Amino acid sequence: MLKTGLTADGESAVVIAPLSSTKPSGTTPNVDAKTMWAHYRVLVGQAKTVKVAEIGTTWYGPNALDPSVLDAALKQLP
């Protein structure tokens, strides 16, 4: 989750983006996110706003992005 506190059609919403452990193609907008466990890429080019009620499962990635990584990802959102 990159952003919270949003609304879509009158419902609570968030902006999400997938994490990848492999390097995407050269044209895919992404931000490096290194944790103590792994090296991820936040695929900001695939970010989308979804209603909270539509989120069925979550993946067990890092608990939180480093603030500088989150800031860089937010600046690249379409």
**Domain ranges for the chain:** 3-76
> What confidence score (pLDDT) does residue 63 get?
66
pLDDT at 67: 87
pLDDT at residue number 49: 95
pLDDT tens per residue across span 12-68: 999 999 989 998 888 889 999 988 788 899 999 999 999 999 887 766 666 678 889
Q: What pLDDT was estimated at residue 62?
A: 66
Q: How far is CA 36 from CA 39, 47, 56, 66, in A?
A: 8, 24, 27, 11
